Chains A and B, each alone.
Chain A
Amino acid sequence: MTRNVSEQPVVRVRGLRMTYGTHEVLTGVDLDVHCGEVVCLLGPNGAGKSTTIEVLEGFRLPSAGEVRVLGADPARADDAWRARVGVVLQSWRDHPRWTPRRLLTHLGGFYRPYSTPERPRPHDVDRLLETVGLTDDADRRIATLSGGRRRRLDVAVGLVGRPELLFLDEPTAGFDPEARRDFHDLVHRLSDLEGTSVLLTTHDLGEAERLADRILILAGGRIVADGSADALNRQVAATSEVRWTRHGERFVHATDEPTPFVRRLFEQYGDEVADLEVHRASLEDTYLAMVTRHQSGVRPELVEVAR
């Protein structure tokens, strides 16, 4: 799809800091989400992914920093702003006596005053139920839905107001593989057909790779990497691991240039080198290396990756 990246970003964050007592969770987060973009915020548990997204949703006040979401400060935004933002929450046992159809109809009603000819609100409930795959469960009591079905309902509730910007905090936690694939298709459709901008958190690298136009890695309280999955992969591929044995002894060497290294290895030892293996590091390896490095706070530099 075509996208005008030069226009104002839908989310713009500069120097976001969050401190709980003496504990600094976010030490200076800068991030942008552009119109129609799907951005994945990746990071280990406790890195501050949820905190960041809750600040952007307007549910939490930051300690410092500049936050603009759809042109407004989420902490002071009005109902008209709220109507343009969708939030997918993890339900637990709320509305046990309601049915999905009844609940979506009720909650969708709040968006009706904000309907425009270009963006009629809310979504048609039957179509929404079909989109998230809940048509068969539409009239069952929510208490009787399985965990996975419940999560589909959460997604539907987040979408019912036809948001221009959608926030999802670990949306596929508890999904089975099929539900996960359906959900990924849904996010692609939202972004392609409706031009919805999406910011989601996950700690599933595969998910980030499949969904995101751009991946942000949050570690040590700041964004340590920013780029497309391909770009991150290319960057990661630069590091390889060479393993071999000599006289029955095992050796491992990490190098950015495996070919010249292996040539030198043979020049030096010739036929003594056995069981030679060269591994390109996976995205997961680099992600883990990056996270470990930044969490220990040794080298907090930004890894800029060209898209």
Chain B
Amino acid sequence: MSGGSAYAVRLGLQRGWTEFTQSLRAVQDQAGYLVLAALTVGYLWVNRADPVEGTSLLYPTVALPGILAGLVAYSAVFNTAFVLAMEREDGTLLRHRALPSGMRGYVTGQVALQSLNLVPTLLVVLVPSALLFDGAVPGSAGGWLTVGWVLALGLLATLPLGMVLGSVVPDAQKVGLWGLLPLVGVTAISGVFFPVQALWGWVQAVAQLFPVYWIGLGLRSAFLPDAAAAVELGGSWRTGTTVLVLTAWAVASLLAAPVVLRRMTRRQSGSQVAAARDTAGQWIR
């Protein structure tokens, strides 16, 4: 890496931090976190007294890790893709294309921002859950260590996918259709709201192809007592397989993302931004 590129990475990290603090101070984003917390914790609260079959645990305890996995996927894939598609349209990317090593700075900034965004996203659900539901969060340092590596690996596996999605969608309005629908489909079968064991065998097989299930499983291994592993597929936490699958996704998407990003960047031009501006106001097409 040349001096200019290393410098651009530093500027990108600064950019991510700046945008993160701006987001935390923005009423719009604060409202988003509030709604997220209310919906998620509210859902757990309604089901707070339901015992989970095959364990001695209540529903919130068992469901929380899966919900957190869904949030990681939503935040890293959908949010990243949406921001990228928006910033393609409004010229943020083009501005960086006009700078020396600008795209390196931009991508670094996005990775930093979306990783940081995960912190408040998870905290607004974790903190009230810890206060409201007994034994819903890990009690040991070892448990939190597991949470740390599962989240890090999960982020590596999903964030580049968000970058790819944001690069290939035609415009920001299509991120919902191209991104949210498949994402909802995958999370629905990945044990986020109900255990994957309750589904048909072939659905279980499909779910295990995607990272969301494994992030959830990894988090459950940290959040739940070891005895709860008995109800999982294969009757164990399958930690080795979790690492393997998430690493495979991370490698594949980290290889694909730069290629797709470069191709997308080459298409950025002033007239493309102008065209996006002209059509963005046009809702009926």
Which residues of chain A have a CB within 8 Å of any CB of chain B? 50-51, 53-54, 57, 59-61, 79-80, 82-83, 85-87, 89-95, 97-98, 102, 106-107, 109-114, 157-158, 161, 169
Contacts and interface: CB of A to CB of B under 8 A. Distances in A.
B277 A92 contact: yes
Listed from nearest, the 8 A-B pairs whose CB atoms lie closest are: A79-B100, A87-B98, A97-B22, A94-B92, A83-B100, A59-B269, A110-B99, A94-B90
Interface of B: 2-5, 7-8, 11, 14-15, 18-19, 22-23, 26, 87, 90-92, 94-95, 97-102, 105, 266, 268-271, 273-274, 277
A106 B105 CA distance: 10
Contacts of B90: 91-94
Contacts of B100: 79-80, 82-83, 110-111, 113-114, 161
B99 A94 contact: no
Nearest to A53: B270
A107 B4 CA distance: 13
A110 B92 contact: no
Contacts of A102: 18
A92 B22 CA distance: 19
Contact of B19 (A50, A97, A113): A97
Task: Tell me if B's interface is mostly helix, strand, loop or mixed.
Answer: helix
Given A79-B100, A106-B15, A114-B100, 9 more contacts: A54-B271, A89-B94, A90-B273, A95-B92, A97-B22, A97-B26, A98-B22, A107-B99, A111-B100
Contacts of A110: 4, 7-8, 11, 99-102, 105
A106 to B, nearest CB: 6
Contacts of B105: 110
16 contacts: A54-B269, A79-B5, A82-B98, A82-B99, A90-B273, A92-B90, A94-B87, A98-B18, A106-B11, A106-B14, A107-B95, A109-B7, A109-B11, A110-B4, A110-B100, A158-B98
B7 A92 contact: no
Contacts of A111: 99-100
Contacts of A86: 98
Contacts of A114: 4, 100
A50 B18 contact: no
A166 B8 CA distance: 22
Contacts of B268: 59
Contacts of B102: 82, 110
A76 B22 CA distance: 36
A8 to B, nearest CB: 22
Nearest to B19: A97
Contacts of B26: 97
Nearest to A84: B100
B11 A89 contact: no
A97 B270 CA distance: 22
A94 B8 CA distance: 20
Nearest to A102: B18
Nearest to B11: A109
B99 A113 contact: no
A110 B99 CA distance: 7
Contact of B270 (A85, A89, A94, A106): A89
A113 B18 contact: no
A94 B91 contact: yes
Nearest to A141: B22
A82 B96 CA distance: 11
Contact of A54 (B3, B5, B95, B270): B270
B226 to A, nearest CB: 46
A54 B268 CA distance: 10
A90 B274 contact: yes
B2 A79 contact: yes
A251 to B, nearest CB: 46
Nearest to B91: A94
A113 B274 contact: no
Nearest to B92: A94
B14 A89 contact: no
Nearest to A111: B100
Nearest to B5: A79
Contacts of A83: 4, 100
Contacts of B97: 59
A158 B7 CA distance: 20
Nearest to B10: A109
Contacts of A59: 94, 97, 268-270
B270 A79 contact: no
Contacts of A112: 7
Contact of A113 (B3, B87, B94, B277): B3
A113 B5 CA distance: 9
Nearest to B28: A97
A89 B273 contact: yes
Contacts of A60: 269
Contact of B91 (A91, A107, A161): A91
B2 to A, nearest CB: 7
Contacts of A106: 11, 14-15, 18
Contacts of A54: 269-271
